[in-house]
Structure 1
Amino acid sequence: MTIAATTAPGISEIFGDAGAVGFLHAREIGVDDGPEVAIGADEPVVLASVFKILVLTAFVRAVEAGELDGRERTTVTARYRIGGVGTAGFADDTEVSWRDLALNMMSMSDNAATDVLYHRLGAAAVDRVITDLGLHRTHLIGCCEDLFASVVSGLGGTADSALDALLGGASADQVLALDALDPERTTRSTPREVTTLLDSLWSDRAAPATACRQARDIMARQIWPHRLSSAFPSGVQIAAKTGTLPTWRNEAGVVTYPDGRQYAVAVFTRAASLADRQPRVDASIGAAAYAAVEHLRAATPSPIHGS
C-alpha cells in the first residue's frame, strides 16, 4: 500500500530562509509503494537544463537500437555557439563524437552539445521517452536554441540580437514576464515526474539495461558540486543534472549511500531575486535534498541481516 506523501519537518523553511520557494520530491529507487517526501511535488516547474535527462535517455536508446553509433563524429558549427561552457563557448568549429557530446551535455551542461544531439535524434525520439514513461505533465518546447529564441522574442529582439545584451538591458518586470520563466508556457514537468524518470533509468525500465547503465555512468560525471551534492557526506555517490534560468535554480539526481540504497530526488527553486549568483539558494537545494533523504531513511531503516 502506498504511504501518503509526507512533508519532512523544516524543509520548506530551508528554502524560505534562502529567499526562495522550493518544490521537491524524493523517493527510494525501486520501491513503488514506499514513503516519499513531497513539497509541491505535483506543481508545474520550469525544467531549464534538467530536460537534458530526457535527451540523454533518447540518446542511449538510439545507441542501443543501432540507430546511432556513439563513436561517430560530427561537427559543432557556429550555429550552436551561443556562449557558455563546453563547445557552446568555443571560438571555432570542432569535431566531436556523439558520445562525447552526450558527456558534455550532462557533465557541464553544454548547450551546443545538447542541441546538436537533439537535432540528430529528432524531437519525436525525445517526446517518445515522455510518452513511454507516462510523464503526462512533462512538456518540451524544443531544445536550448528554441528556449533562447523565446527569450529573445520576449524581450523584443530579433534573430540577430545578442541574448546577453538583451537581458542586460531589460527591466526586472520584462525578465519576470518571459514565457521561459513561466511553468505554464515553457519546457516543464513536476518534481514527481522527474523522480519517475530517474527511477526508470535506475531500474532499467527507461531503456534496455545496458543503455540505462550508460546513462547512469554519464550522469555520475557531472562536475558541479554546489547544489545537490553540497550537503551530502563523503561516501555518498551522486549522479545528477542541474538547471538554471533567471530566478530558477534546480537539480535532480540519484544519491547512493554506502549501504547500497538509492534515492531519486528532484529539487526546483524559484528565488525572489534576479541576481546571477545566489549561493544560499544553491546550498538550500543540497540541504533540502539531504533532509528529505534522511527522512526517508529514518522512515524505512535498512534491514539487519543475521549471520
Structure 2
Amino acid sequence: MSIEERLHKVFADAGAEARLHAVAVGAEPPGTADSARSGVGIGADEPVVIASVFKVLLVLEFARQVAAGQLDPRERVLVTAEDRLGGWGTAGCLDDVELSLRDLAHFTMSVSDNSAADLLMARVGVDTVRLLARELGLDRTRIVGGPREVLRTMLAEVGAGDEQEFAAVYPSLPAERLRRLSALDPLRTNASTPREITRLLGLVWRDEAGPPEACAQVRDLMGSQVFRHRLISGFPDEVVVAAKTGTLPGLHIEAGVVHYPDGGRYAVAVFARTLDLATGRAQVDAAIGTAARIAVEYLRAADRRKGV
C-alpha cells in the first residue's frame, strides 16, 4: 500500500476525506524529485478552506509591524459587547475586557479567540495581511476577512439576524443548504492549499517570513495553543507540536510544526471534511494526528535511507 493509500484509509475509516501535506522544515522548495524534500501528501495542491488557520498570517503581520516599530504591542484595546462573537477567550466574556495588542495576539493563537482576532485585524489591516501572503509567495492563499466577515456571510445566507437566531435556525436547515454556505467553499472564503500552508510554516520556522523576532513570536504563540486533540494526539510525549486549529461545520483542520528530540522538524497541514456537519468528531480529530504521524514517519524513514 502506497503512502497516499495509507493516508486516505486513515480518514476513510474515520468517515472523512482529507487533504494533507507534510514536509521537513528546511527542505528544498517543492518540485524536486526527492519526495523527502518536496514532502508527501494527498491533494496537497487542491484549494481548501483554512478557517482559523488564517490567524497564523494575521499574527505574523502583527509581529512584523511590531518589529518595524509601526505598532506598540502594549497599546490598550477595549473588548466590548459589540465585539463579542461567542466562543473562547474574550469572545465569550460577559463583561468588557481591556488588554494589550500583544495579549490579543496571545488569545488569537492560544484559544483561537475570534473577537481578539477581529480587533487585531482591524488594527493591522486586512489589506496588509493580503499583501503579506503575496510577499511570501502564497499565490493561492486568499484572505477575504476576519471571523466577523465569515460570520456575517453565514448569517446572511441562512437569513438570520444575529448569532442567537442562527443557532436556533441552524439545526433545522437541510444539510445540502448548509454545504452551500460560502464559509465552507474555498472559492469564496479564506482559503489556501495544504502545500502553501506548510510553506508558510517553513518560512516562519526558518526566520524567512520576516524579522527573526517576529518569526520567533509566531512560533512561541503557536506553541501556546491549548487544544491537543488533533495533530499532537498522534505523537509520543517527547515530540513537541506547535500548531493552529481551524473548525467549521464539517471541517476539522490543523496545521503546525512537529519537533523531534533529534532535531527533526516537520511542517504538517491537514484539512479533513466529513459528510455530516458536526464540529465535534473525536474519531476524525484522532485521524488527523494518526495521518500526520504516518506522513512524518515516512519522511523520516526516507531521510534515514539517504543518510540525511
TM-score between the two structures when normalised by the length of structure 2: 0.93
1:73 — aligned with what? 76
Q: Which amino acid aligns with 2:9?
A: E
Deviation at 1:134, TM superposition (A): 0.9
- The one-letter amino acid paired with 2:16 is A
Matches of 1:145 and 1:293, distance apart in 2:
35
1:195 alignment counterpart: 198
> Partner of 1:121 in structure 2?
124
Identity of aligned residues (%): 48
Counterpart check, 1:211 vs 2:214: yes
Counterpart among 266, 275, 292 of residue 278 in structure 2: 275
Q: In 2, Cα distance between the equivalents of 1:161 and 1:229?
A: 33
Aligned to 1:11: 7
Structure 1 contact 232–290 (Cα < 8 Å) conserved: yes
Counterpart for residue 261 of structure 1: 264
Q: Does the CA-based 8 Å contact 1:19-1:281 persist in structure 2?
A: yes
Structure 2 residue ranges without an equivalent (≥5): 30-36
Aligned to 1:48: 51
Q: 1:87–1:160: structure 2 CA closer, same or farther, 3 Å change rule?
A: closer
How far is the alpha carbon of 1:161 from its aligned partner?
Answer: 6.2
Instruction: Give structure 1 stretches of 5+ with no counterpart.
Output: 1-5
**Counterpart check, 1:30 vs 2:26:** yes
CA distance in 1, matches of 2:150, 2:82: 15
Aligned equivalent of 2:294: 291
2:16 pairs, out of 12, 20, 26, with 20
Change over 3 Å in CA distance of 1:194–1:160 after alignment to 2: closer
C-alpha change, 1:172 and 1:255, in structure 2 (3 Å) is: same
Structure 2 residue identity aligned to 1:245: L
> Does 2:153 align with 1:150?
yes
User: Using the alignment, how far apart are the partners of 1:221 and 1:119 within structure 2?
Assistant: 23
Q: CA deviation at 1:171?
A: 2.3
Q: State the match for 1:102 in structure 2.
A: 105
For residues 154-201 of structure 1, the C-alpha deviation after alignment (integer angstroms, 9 at most, x for no partner) is 102236863322323322222111111111111110000000100010
CA contact (8 A) 2:155 2:163 kept: no
Q: Distance in 1 between matches of 2:92 and 2:98?
A: 14
SS of equivalent residue, structure 2 residue 112: coil
Q: Quick one: which of 160, 166, 170 aligns to 1:167? A: 170
TM-score by length of 1: 0.94
Do 1:148 and 1:163's aligned partners in 2 also have CA atoms closer than 8 Å?
no
State the distance in 2 between where 1:285 and 1:108 align: 19
Counterpart residue type for residue 56 of structure 1? V
8 Å contact kept, 1:52–1:105: yes
Q: CA deviation at 1:9?
A: 4.7
- What is the rounded CA distance, in whole Å, between the counterparts of 1:160 and 1:46 in structure 2? 21
* Cα distance, 1:202 vs structure 2: 0.4
**Native 8 Å contact 2:21 2:42 kept in 1:** yes
Matched, 1:245 2:258: no
Counterpart in 1 of 2:141?
138
**CA-atom RMSD in angstroms:** 1.7
User: Structure 2 CA distance, aligned partners of 1:147 and 1:11?
Assistant: 30
Secondary structure at the aligned position of 2:266 is classed as: strand
Say whether the 8 Å CA contact 1:248–1:269 is kept in structure 2: yes
**3-state secondary structure, aligned to 1:281:** helix
- Amino acid of the residue matched to residue 7 of structure 2? I
Contact 2:229 2:285 in 1 (8 A): yes
Larger helix share, 1 or 2: 2
Residue 174 of structure 2 corresponds to residue 178 of structure 1: no
Count of aligned pairs = 300
